[in-house]
Every structure is written in C-alpha cells, then in structure tokens.
Amino acid sequence: MSKSAGVYEAKKKNGMTYYRASITYRKKHISLGSSDSRETAQNIYTEAKNIIEDTSFTLEDYTDSMKLSYSKFISLINFRDNGIYFPTPIYLKKNYFEYYLSTDIVLKFDRDDLFFYASHQIQKRGGYLFVSDYGSQYKILGRYGIKPFAVYGRDYIMSNNDEYDYRYSNIKIINNYTGVLMEEIKGKPVYTAVIHKVGNHIIGRYETEEHAAIAYNKAVDILHENGINKNYTKNYIVSLSKEEYLNIYEKLTVSDKLYHIEK
C-alpha cells in the first residue's frame, strides 16, 4: 500500500486497486472519498486542502467541475468556520442551522434538531424528504406533526413562504386530519371531508374539523363494509372521549354515493 499527499492506495475484495483521499485538520482525520484514479483522488485532497486554508471559499463557491462531493464541501466549510465537524452537510448559524441538500435546496432547522440531522442523512424522493433509520425510511414531515402525505399549501404552509424552512415557529398546519380540507364559504370556514377511491369523493361538509375527521372515519367503515379493502388511515380525535366520539359518529350524515362506490 503506497501513498502520496492525502491519497492512499488500497485494494478492493476483488483485488482491484483504488485510491482513498483523506485529510487531517484540527487533529481530526476526515475521509474525503475514493476513486479508481489516483489523479482524481489527488484532486479531491487538493480541493479540500484549499477550502480549509482559504477562507475566501464560501458556501456558494461549489461547482460541478469539482471532484470533492458537495456534502463534504459543506462539512469542511462549517468545520473551518465554526470549529465543529458534522458528517452531514450542515452549516451552523446563530440560532438555527442549514442543511444543504443540494445547491438548489437549502433546509433550515432549529438547533433542537441538530443532534438528529447531524447523524441522519436527508434524501429527497417523489417530492418528499425522508431519512433512513434502523433500516426503515421515515418522512421528516412527521417530526413536525404534519401528516406523511400532506401537501404543501393545502395541508400546511410556512409563514415566511419558504417551504424548506422547517423551524418550528415557521410551520403552520392547516389540516390536522386525513381527508379533511378547510375552505371558506361566504367568509366562514367550512370543513370538507373527502375520500379517495378511483378519484376523490366528497363525504360532506361540516362546521368543525373534528366532525369532518369523524365523517372521514365513517366513510372508511362504509367502504370496508362494501368490500373495498384499501388500507385507509383513520383519524384519531384526541380531544374527544370514546362516548363523545361515538355519539357524533352516529349522528353525522355522509353522502349516499359512498354506498355505491365500486370496488
């Protein structure tokens, strides 16, 4: 095994040679990545060395031509500026931190979430942000009381209109329950319960969010009784006792069309 400055030659299990780049900064040994090419590995090391030695490098200076990964680029600049190394692409601010998912997407979080995101890599797929934990994937919406399949602008909004600002004070949940939409009719809030089965079906419109949520649950029961076995997620109404819930459930009327939805 041989090395040049910051580059180490190594062998894969199949016997193929590859090159690992690493750097030591502030007494911390940091792995920078690997490549099948010694030249590329050397470029990775050189870029990292330049970043930590030249404070004129900023978070906006990353280019696609760089060999160093974007995530490592952010980690190194944060370590240089703030003295703390994170394996995830975090940059500390005074009262919050930024998570650089890509050059186009920068997430903001409260410091209370720092420990979690310092050890969990965020990924984006199908319009949703999620992390992997113990072999499973979890959408980050759930950390903020937002339903897993909530839609931005319909079920929740951000007060400053930045949909990537997940600071707690910035999140405003509009619809707390599955299948419930808040509308304004003649200047008054009305809660519409909707269920999906080959298109959306209106269950009814109700004066309170809780009644609409219960109506949705009732619609789920009707569809199941009619042989539709789709796995709907029911609403749990924390504010009501079992007796109160059942009383409202029995009295609520729902659309007759629910009884005629085909499998």
State the helix-helix crossing angle for 70-82 and 38-53, rounded to 10 degrees. Answer: 30
Answer yes or no: pTM beyond 0.95.
no
**Quick check: 2 pLDDT over 60?**
no
Top mean pLDDT of 104-113, 136-145, 149-158 is at: 104-113
- Overall residue count recorded for the chain in this entry: 263
> pLDDT of 202-218, one tens digit each?
999 999 999 999 999 99
Q: Is 247 left (phi over 0), alpha (psi -120 to 50) or beta?
A: alpha
> pLDDT of 41-54, one tens digit each?
999 999 999 999 99
Spell out the domain ranges in the chain. 1-67, 86-174, 180-260
Q: Which contacts (CB < 8 Å, 24+ apart) does range 1-10 have? A: 4/38, 4/42, 5/42, 5/45, 6/32, 6/42, 6/45, 6/46, 6/48, 6/49, 7/38, 7/41, 7/42, 7/45, 9/38, 10/34
